[in-house]
Structure 1
Amino acid sequence: MNYRTTKSGLKFSELGLGCMNLPTDYHEAQSILKQALDSEITYFDTADLYNKGDNEKLLGRFFKENGHRQDIVLGSKVGNEFSQQSDEVKWNPSREHILHGIKDSLHRLGTDYLDLYMLHGGTIEDNMEETLDAFNILKQDGLIRAYGISSIRPNVIREYLDHSDIDVIMMQFNLLDNRPEMLLDEIAARDVKVLARGPVMKGLLTDQSQSIIARKFEEGVFDYSKEELTQTLSNVDEPLTVSTMNYLLSQPVASIVAGASSVDQLTTNVQYYEQVDYHTHSRERFQNLQYEQHL
């Protein structure tokens, strides 16, 4: 496993584990998490919203029982005010909510600090000064080592690039969804790195792509019709997952955050990562996409 370091000194494994889809059964999840550690994965990504805090509790229990807390980069997210009694979720990027949210997350995770704390969304109407004040307080108090945002809104991303000390931006990013390219120069100029979520695009960029198209993408996706999608993916010579990983790791990416709901899925992701050569990818076979909203 290779690693990449951000300006705050966080050392990310190039392949990280997105924990959102871990099984709720602890023993099943434990097997995946142990395999991740055995595979030298060090970035573990969660959020307070995932299973209404239970995902954080699961990770907390695992690292309490298995150790390694000092060996990993643990990231969580805040900004969604959720109810345990209903499915209602309210957006709340206020100072008060963030300062309260970190206490809840640390308690559930069984740790006294987070390596990375991210705003889980964001709109241009938010009081960004108040949000940043909260993150800076947490950093000064040693409760977090660094902060960032999870967003695909260019106007929000640019505001944070211009007015904050963010370490990372989490974005959906892969060969099909290459919209982040339009922001990469601005991101790199601020010495910020990307956490690439959705690297295999719901299974489209795997060896199961044709069956995934038939099951989930009858209407196509983005500017691709079903036929265009089928033809584009079938024209890639190397394994699609290897190609998208090569593509992402040729960009200012700190980690490819790939989810896994089984040991087999994680093992497959690792096997593809081990084929990465950092150069070979099929970007020229894919359309050039751009963000069209929130500009």
Structure 2
Amino acid sequence: MPYGLNMSQASHKMQKDDAIKLLHYALDRGINFFDTARLYGESETIMGEAFAGMRQDVILTSKCKHFRLPDGSLPAASDLKKIMTDSLHESLRELRTDCIDVYMLHYGDLEILELEEVYELFSIFQQEGLIRYPGVSVYEPEETKKALDKDFWKVIQLPFNLMDQKQGEHFHQASAQGVGLVVRSVLMRGLLTDKSFQLHPALKDVQAHLHTYRKLYTDDSQTLASLAMKFAASIPEVSSVLVGFDKVEFVQEALSIFNGDYLNANDLKMAKSMSYPDQSFLNLAQWDKNGWL
């Protein structure tokens, strides 16, 4: 499905055969960790077909459906269990597997992270061999803190990038507890690239801040995207960095960037000091609602 800035009018979607070829291309070149979800369009179905017969070569992460009701409330315990159980079995069927390596709550907010039914059900899924490790996808640092304090989740997926580093305050605790951190939004939907965006006037300070990262470039061919990806990969507590691609060239570019040669200690320290001054303002979902994107 389309993903990025200015996607309200986007209609482009990869053809299934092209997507499968691209997945095979990535796998053949050593990329073995793939992230999907029940709510990501046809992604699970396509991955299931692409990796049929080679399941042992890939690590799959998927996420259950959201289960908040339209009015924002949570369903009764019995309904909640049915939603989660049905969602898992749908994922298993579409992915053509009998076990998902990392199975996640798709956005565990503070209230959801307190639901005992969730922990009971994930424990059952694990005991039955349907999932290997329980994980949770979060947005806010306080959700990460709550997830870590529960000492149950083995993987946490969270947003983290050059601009928005507020989640970093909990990385040490995650590492100490042996919790894997999977970082998303490393390019902020394409904002942290060298594409020419003329942002809404309300975002003029954001646009100005993007230009300050040029002082971190190590050579004339450096790009903001490569800097952003190398920055995320330079954080020792980060287990995996999620990037999307719909062209072979993007896979090739990612492989050239994630080559083990990342920011040195001084450059990493400087990059950490250059996060956006008002971290709470960095809310792309709210910017969308405001009509700024």
TM-score with structure 1 setting the length: 0.77
Give 1:243's aligned residue.
227
Q: Secondary structure at the match of 1:180?
A: helix
| Larger strand proportion of the pair | 1
Q: 1:149 aligns with which of 124, 136, 153?
A: 136
Give 1:100's aligned residue.
86
Check conservation: 1:200, 1:244, Cα contact below 8 A: yes
By how many angstroms is 1:160 displaced? 2.0
Identify which of structures 1 and 2 has the higher relative contact order when contacts are C-alpha pairs closer than 8 Å and 6+ apart: 1
Give 1:175's aligned residue.
162
Give 1:260's aligned residue.
245
Q: After superposing the two structures, state which structure 1 stretch, 272-281 or 67-76, moved more.
A: 272-281
Relative to structure 1, the CA distance from residue 40 to residue 259 in structure 2 (aligned partners, 3 Å threshold; closer, same or farther) is same
By how many angstroms is 1:225 displaced? 3.5
Give the root-mean-square deviation of aligned CA atoms. Answer: 3.1
Cα distance in structure 1, aligned partners of 2:118 and 2:182: 21
Check conservation: 2:233, 2:258, Cα contact below 8 A: no
By how many angstroms is 1:153 displaced? 2.4
| Larger helix proportion of the pair | 2
Check conservation: 1:177, 1:289, Cα contact below 8 A: no
Deviations 1:211-268 (A, max 9, x none): 13x2x565438xx4422333x1333323233333332233211100101122222222
Relative to structure 1, the CA distance from residue 157 to residue 277 in structure 2 (aligned partners, 3 Å threshold; closer, same or farther) is closer
Cα distance in structure 2, aligned partners of 1:229 and 1:184: 24
Q: Which runs of 4+ in 1 moved over 3 A?
A: 19-24, 87-93, 216-219, 284-293
Check conservation: 2:163, 2:274, Cα contact below 8 A: no
Give 2:28's aligned residue.
38
Check conservation: 1:182, 1:290, Cα contact below 8 A: no
TM-score with structure 2 setting the length: 0.78
Give 2:103's aligned residue.
117
Deviations 1:5-27 (A, max 9, x none): xxxxxxxxxxxxxx986944111
Relative to structure 1, the CA distance from residue 253 to residue 271 in structure 2 (aligned partners, 3 Å threshold; closer, same or farther) is same
By how many angstroms is 1:292 displaced? 8.2
Cα distance in structure 1, aligned partners of 2:258 and 2:143: 31
Name structure 1 gaps, 5 residues minimum. 1-18
Relative to structure 1, the CA distance from residue 228 to residue 163 in structure 2 (aligned partners, 3 Å threshold; closer, same or farther) is closer
By how many angstroms is 1:89 displaced? 10
Deviations 1:109-137 (A, max 9, x none): 11111001010002222252111111111
Q: After superposing the two structures, state which structure 1 stretch, 244-253 or 127-136, moved more.
A: 244-253
Cα distance in structure 1, aligned partners of 2:74 and 2:23: 30
Name structure 2 gaps, 5 residues minimum. 4-11, 283-293
Give 2:60's aligned residue.
74
Relative to structure 1, the CA distance from residue 110 to residue 104 in structure 2 (aligned partners, 3 Å threshold; closer, same or farther) is same
Q: Secondary structure at the match of 2:261?
A: coil
